[in-house]
A and B are shown apart, each in its own frame.
Chain A
């Protein structure tokens, strides 16, 4: 029989669930961590709901950083943001490996779990890197900047913290259209909310700058070097939907 641990879908909540499994000595191959929203009840399972407790989370974080380092912790966090199916299972097993191998976990390239977690984290960090440049804000009548995107992974948090530093002098909203999540920044702090119908329009002045940007984008291409394949390799089509210069 499997032991199901339900958590609230957040990284902190997931870490709390992992903490219970590790500290209670539960067999990792019998434990399943799954988000409350995604769980479909099966009567043969034993189900426990784990509360999200920030102190427990901090303890886990401290433990991981002591056992390995903050890079490994960041890797785990990024892997958690991945849209991979059963990411919880991979990360849980990764945490168990971390307990036995400590710092050395970074060099276990041939281990399938380590490999999978590395890949997930890399995919997430690539997508964050791309969106740092490919996010497009517009001016709205409400007086704040507004950007839509549909990332593959759930990266609104790291993206928002990047723009908190970058666009610190403006109020802005970043909107993950696929997940109905928004991040709002009011020149002081970022808040994360869910939101299903948000309609914001660009101002007329903004449209002028969109036109200017398109003009510039076109002027910069060198006809003799045209290479649309290379362009697409660097800027895959799935990013184009909200790109001013591609619409």
Chain B
């Protein structure tokens, strides 16, 4: 099989892995080719609108496991291919120097044995770092059941490592991944966290994970709560959510006609509220079986349920209160705080600071006045009707959204 065909098969096999970040590396620079960029850089966008920043490939798609949701499972009759470490390294270097990519994202199915597979990933990364003196970004998967020593060796050469949590609950994992156990995932995850805390230059851009959304009946509350736990316990940098694309017909999987992209989008928004805006999972959800509202974003959803806290007076509210207003983000809240020292703010000022009045106007006053007189005492259903996000119902945004937000703020120096 020639390199074109291998790249086609093993690129396509990796496309469902949604992680795309190339940011946050603090590895010390050695001599050699390239560098990392702290904010990350997107190099292209596929026809589905997702950004490409790394050469994302599987080392092999020959798998001894048989997970129900996975296109590469043993029982599927598909074209199989396996790279050599040399091939992956050369592709990476040649794509990199042409500025096609920011680095390598190397994942793999499990061929022969977990240790054989992990060894191949290690050899590939070793070649890149030592033979080619490659200094760009490398994200590599830790393979469940692989020896911790191999994972450790690889982690010193990588910027980021990740173990996929796969599904939001142990029950779902047992149902769909007969060959994986909760321990086989959490053990390497915990190990990576521990070594990263103790050693310098070990996965310096941190650890991430990914879970599949919509293949099982787990609720959004469960998903967000699991994420919160992962952020806290394993200090993960990111949890990625991947709307399940129906690639297999398997009775164990919930029937989906198309990937639940809008749900995925709402989960990223909720995740963001928890990580950046200090919301707790319990505030966003009333019960454990609850899902996010698809019609409005989670901040609007929360605000409508807590209308008794509004309106807040923009000229007096604390930063914590301001960022909880729909339409006011981190950046505009900071601007409000700094600017009102000079003079009291009116709605015109807010607009210039980037506040989205279309959403914020139902929740704030400026010097005691509401934006329009009729806004006082509108019932929540009325407000919701006006705030329903029609655009997003038709055309769901995708995950690069958040990375881009961080990215532009960093390059404009505005955070």
Contacts and interface: CB of A to CB of B under 8 A. Distances in A.
B352 A109 contact: yes
A127 to B, nearest CB: 10
Given A226-B48, A234-B49, A133 B102 contact: yes
A215 B12 CA distance: 10
Contact of B46 (A104, A168, A220, A224): A220
Nearest to B339: A107
B349 A109 contact: yes
B95 A213 contact: yes
A245 B49 contact: no
B389 to A, nearest CB: 15
A202 to B, nearest CB: 10
Interface in B5-23: 7-9, 11-12, 14-16
Interface stretch (B29-37, B62-70, B178-186, B358-366): B29-37
A107 B47 contact: no
A112 to B, nearest CB: 10
Interface string B333-345: 0010011001000
Contact of B411 (A128, A209, A212, A228): A128
A125 interface: yes
Given A125-B411, A213-B100, A231 B46 contact: yes
Interface in A219-234: 219-231, 233-234
Interface string B310-339: 000000000000000000000000010011
Contacts of B99: 133, 135-137, 147, 163, 166-167
Given A126-B412, A219-B11, A222-B245, 16 more contacts: A74-B413, A129-B408, A135-B99, A145-B97, A166-B99, A167-B97, A206-B98, A218-B8, A219-B15, A220-B15, A220-B50, A222-B15, A222-B48, A224-B259, A225-B50, A244-B100
Interface of B: 3-4, 7-9, 11-12, 14-16, 32-35, 37, 41-53, 55-56, 91, 94-95, 97-100, 102, 133, 245-246, 258-259, 261, 335, 338-339, 342, 348-349, 352-353, 395, 397-398, 400, 404, 407-408, 411-413
17 contacts: A71-B413, A107-B339, A110-B352, A133-B43, A136-B99, A145-B98, A166-B99, A209-B95, A212-B91, A216-B11, A217-B44, A221-B47, A221-B48, A227-B47, A227-B395, A227-B398, A233-B49
